[in-house]
């Protein structure tokens, strides 16, 4: 399965940049604009083996009950919260680390992202 990237619709430009950079590093990426059932789509993606990246910002319209369904522990390193602004993780996920791209330059943001998903894939077919 590809890396699943869930994002608020207004954060589409961020998601596109992230997908472009991850693909350039050899990863497959599935972008998923957050709709009404975004939490259930994230839960399904977590049943796979690849990382699930959730982009968080003030633009995200997820409710506390949406996020509460994701608060059960995922395997380490599988559910990756990435903040795009100073908002941080929603309360039900506050025990998890939210890695922030806010204020980072492009190179530092890319280094952080690649570190979170396991680095560049030297051989995309592996």
Instruction: Please report how many Cα atoms fall inside a 13 Å half-sphere around the Cα of residue 7, on the Cβ side.
Output: 22
Domain ranges for the chain, please list them: 3-117
Mean local confidence (pLDDT), 53-71: 89
Q: Which residues are bridge partners to 31 per DSSP?
A: 5
Mean pLDDT score across all residues of the chain: 89
Asked if residues 83 and 89 have their Cβ atoms less than 8 Å apart, the reply is yes
Class at the top of the CATH hierarchy for domain 3-117: alpha beta
Give the model's pLDDT for residue 7.
Answer: 97
CA distance 73 to 3: 18
Tokens for 74, please give them: 């995922």
Q: What average pLDDT does the segment 49-53 reach? A: 92
Is the separation of the CB atoms in 54 and 39 below 8 Å?
Answer: no
Percentage of residues in the chain having pLDDT higher than 70: 91
Helix (H, G, I), strand (E, B) or coil at 112: helix
């Amino acid at each position: 399965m590809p890396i699943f990237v869930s994002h608020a619709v207004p954060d589409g430009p961020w998601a596109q940049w992230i997908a472009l950079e991850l693909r350039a590093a050899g990863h497959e990426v599935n972008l998923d604009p957050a709709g009404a059932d975004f939490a259930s789509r994230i839960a399904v993606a977590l049943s796979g083996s690849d990382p699930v990246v959730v982009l968080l910002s003030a633009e995200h319209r997820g409710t506390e009950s949406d996020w509460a369904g994701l608060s059960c522990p995922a395997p380490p390193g599988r559910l990756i919260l990435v903040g795009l602004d100073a908002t941080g993780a929603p309360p039900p996920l506050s025990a998890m680390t939210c890695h922030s791209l806010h204020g980072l330059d492009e190179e530092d943001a890319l280094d952080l992202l690649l570190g979170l998903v396991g680095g560049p894939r030297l051989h995309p077919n592996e």
